[in-house]
Chain A
Amino acid sequence: MTAILEREDTKPQAPPVTPPRRKRKGGWLVTGFTGLILFVFLLPLGYMLVTSVKSEQMINRVGGPILPNSPASFEFEGEQLDIYTVPMPDGSELELGLLQPGRQVSTFVDPSNPEAGAIEWEGNWRLLSPADELDPQWQNYTRAWDLMDFPILLRNTLAIAGIGTIGAVASSILVAYGLARFRVPFGRSIMVVLVATIVLPRFVTLVPTYAVFVRIGWVGTWLPLIVPHFFANAFNVFLLRQYFLTIPKELDEAATIDGAGPMRTLVSVILPQMKAALVAVSLFHFYFAWNDFFEPMIYLTTRPDLQPISVGLRAFNTLYDSQPNLIQSGSMLALIIPVVVFLFAQRVFLQGIDLSGVQK
């Protein structure tokens, strides 16, 4: 009986039908092809990793090695000798330290056997290619860390994201609960307007909002980045409403019969069953705040000490534009936490996106 009464809103999502089509053969072909695409797709990350540990003099060398190498050298009798790849008369190539450069004849020392002494080699040493060795500059990370004031950026981002998340999740739960479980007057219209706010270009409301924030002294504080999130937003409400609809209503009714009010029912009966949804929505806001750029920039221009990571990273880029290794280290610092969090929580997270898209 109850199920029929709730007909209007309860469209429980059918569990995903097992993926259609095709026999299992050719699996490795498809997998290999997909893997290749994935490799190309993620190649920029490889570029970032490699570049972030390159040394300064190697970075701008046109045609320089892809890997974070440095010119190899070795110490011989208190002197640093550069190592070159030297073709020997017998056709082999040896990596030798240049001891005495000369136009026709140069002398080299074999680093693996310095006791053998100088080796004479005929030919122009300038035509030899210098040998490189792998030499990642991990200190680029500490430099980027210090130059960006990373701990401060991290603190700001976490504070803005953390407080905002509490507000966004709490308010969205209430609104979604109201829309999913009650016959709210104008419920339909509310849903329509909710969709409309997604479509609205955000600049339309920005000018007056900014002007008001200037007047009340909120510019230069975190408040404009936090307070508006305490009023629920369309994406979260849709997602949570979708989850609410999957929870059988009989549970609420049982709680009501036991004398629990709507708030009590929400907190002690429904919420414990949707931890996954709460995690998903929290993550959405966390990523939003970590990524948010435009508003933190306009509201915190004058307060670098309060800026979150995206704004800080951009400022860092304008200052150290000429040092791609530092820029890439900084990018790495900015993305490592979201990426690690994602890898741990990806199942819940992707499920959340699944649901948010289903009712469209």
Chain B
Amino acid sequence: MAVTTEEGVAGKPVTPFTPDYKPPSSSLARRRGRAGLWFVMPWIVGFFLWYAIPMVASLWFSFTDFNLVNSQPTQFIGLDNWQKLFSDPMVRQSTLVTLKFGMIALPVAIIFPMALAYLLVNKSLRARETFRALFFMPSIIPFVAAVLIFGGIMNGQIGWVNRMLAVIGITGPNWFQDQTWVYPSLVFIGLWGVGNAMIIFIASMNSVPSSLYDAARIDGASEWRMFRHVTLPVISPIIFYNLIIALIGIFNYFLVPFVLNNGSGDPGGATLFYALYFFRVGFRLFDMGYAATLAWALFLVAVGITGLLFWSAKYWVHYEFER
């Protein structure tokens, strides 16, 4: 919280009508503030209970051989788990798998909902509300059901996709069983989850002041240039937000590969995602010490990447349009 005095900052007079004005702190205001603290208390308690303490405990676990099925007393083993992490071929493989998937999934997770939103804010589109609801609808379908549905329609032999491809003379691949095609296939399933991103893209595109478009049109800007130089800068905070959310989704990517191939990582380890490997170590082998190490390593990477994103934001995210 900014500290403000009744005199204001360095010589500039602060009146109740200037933006830096804060009301004088009275005992009543302080009392009200403390009352507010009681309302916030559930979250504060929850933060320590479910975030802060577990995170510290997790770090501590990573220096031990804590194992839930082993009856031997837990021992402090120093950096052994961390050393193992760097020499574990499975860690390398699952990181690579996650990275490969992320390279395709991340751009799609931005571009596809953005394209849908662009289509749906078009003024000449009829029944816009209905379209919006129907494009959103798959996002509330339980993921497990969505995986099973896509597993069926993209089945190599009897799925509709390959039968349609056969009609135009293309032999479709064995989507989910093919080491290369499995990644685009997973991205296809992901398309059913873009509803949230689409909705906030729509809201943001609708908030672009129409005077900006008018000005651009007078300057003779083409549709594409208007999108590139008017729409895109205004919606850049939303792109940033959706990018962060999509990134977290990739770090936590577990359900789809798990349901699809029973967590086997098939075909040939191509779907052994990092989260899946973490699950194996922690909840199949119950090697909690090493699982905590894997989790903390992921956390550090996540902090690093999101930090990088936040740093990059100042070069491409425009906040000046915010009202």
Shortest Cβ distance from residue B289 to the other chain A in the assembled complex, whole angstroms: 9
Contact B29 A183 (CB under 8 A): yes
Cα–Cα distance between A177 and B41 once the two chains are bound (Å): 11
From B36, B127, B295, A204 is in contact (CB under 8 Å) with B295
Say yes or no: is B54 at the interface (Cβ < 8 Å to chain A): yes
Considering the complex, give the chain B residue whose CB is closest to the CB of A342.
Answer: B140
Residues of A close to B41: CB separation below 8 A? 174
Cα–Cα distance between A14 and B210 once the two chains are bound (Å): 14
Contact A203 B295 (CB under 8 A): yes
Say yes or no: is A22 at the interface (Cβ < 8 Å to chain B): yes
Cα–Cα distance between A22 and B231 once the two chains are bound (Å): 14
Contact with A along B29-58 (1 / 0, CB 8 A): 100111111111111111101110111011
From B19, B40, B138, A42 is in contact (CB under 8 Å) with B138
Cα–Cα distance between A11 and B142 once the two chains are bound (Å): 36
From B34, B292, B323, A14 is in contact (CB under 8 Å) with B323
Say yes or no: is A318 at the interface (Cβ < 8 Å to chain B): yes
Contact A207 B143 (CB under 8 A): no
Residues of A close to B82: CB separation below 8 A? none
Cα–Cα distance between A37 and B37 once the two chains are bound (Å): 50
Say yes or no: is B149 at the interface (Cβ < 8 Å to chain A): yes
Shortest Cβ distance from residue B256 to the other chain A in the assembled complex, whole angstroms: 10
Instruction: Give the number of residues in B that approach A within 8 Å (Cβ atoms).
Output: 115
Counting chain B CB atoms within 10 Å of each CB, the highest count among A22, A34, A187, A330 belongs to A34
- Measured as residues with beta carbon below 8 angstroms from the partner, the interface class of chain A is 35 or more
Given A51-B152, A357-B238: A178 and B40 within 8 A (CB)?
yes
Shortest Cβ distance from residue A310 to the other chain B in the assembled complex, whole angstroms: 5
Shortest Cβ distance from residue B283 to the other chain A in the assembled complex, whole angstroms: 5
Say yes or no: is B121 at the interface (Cβ < 8 Å to chain A): yes
Say yes or no: is A291 at the interface (Cβ < 8 Å to chain B): yes
Considering the complex, give the chain A residue whose CB is closest to the CB of B157.
Answer: A62
Counting chain B CB atoms within 10 Å of each CB, the highest count among A18, A187, A197, A201 belongs to A201
Cα–Cα distance between A206 and B288 once the two chains are bound (Å): 10
Contact A190 B43 (CB under 8 A): yes
Say yes or no: is A127 at the interface (Cβ < 8 Å to chain B): no
Cα–Cα distance between A230 and B43 once the two chains are bound (Å): 9
Contact B149 A294 (CB under 8 A): no
Given A207-B282, A335-B145, A357-B238: A17 and B51 within 8 A (CB)?
no
Contact A293 B206 (CB under 8 A): no
Contact B199 A354 (CB under 8 A): yes
Contact A360 B238 (CB under 8 A): yes
Contact A207 B140 (CB under 8 A): no
- Other than the given A20-B123, A34-B119, 14 more pairs (CB < 8 A) read A20-B121, A21-B210, A30-B125, A31-B127, A34-B120, A37-B116, A178-B40, A208-B54, A208-B58, A210-B288, A291-B143, A335-B145, A343-B133, A358-B203
Which residues of A come within 8 Å of B, CB atoms?
1, 4-5, 7-8, 11, 14, 16-28, 30-31, 33-35, 37-38, 41-45, 47-48, 51, 59-64, 66, 171, 174-175, 177-179, 181-188, 190, 193-194, 197-211, 214, 228, 230-232, 237, 262, 287, 290-291, 293-294, 298, 309-310, 313-314, 317-318, 324, 327-328, 330-332, 334-335, 338-339, 342-343, 346, 350, 353-354, 356-358, 360
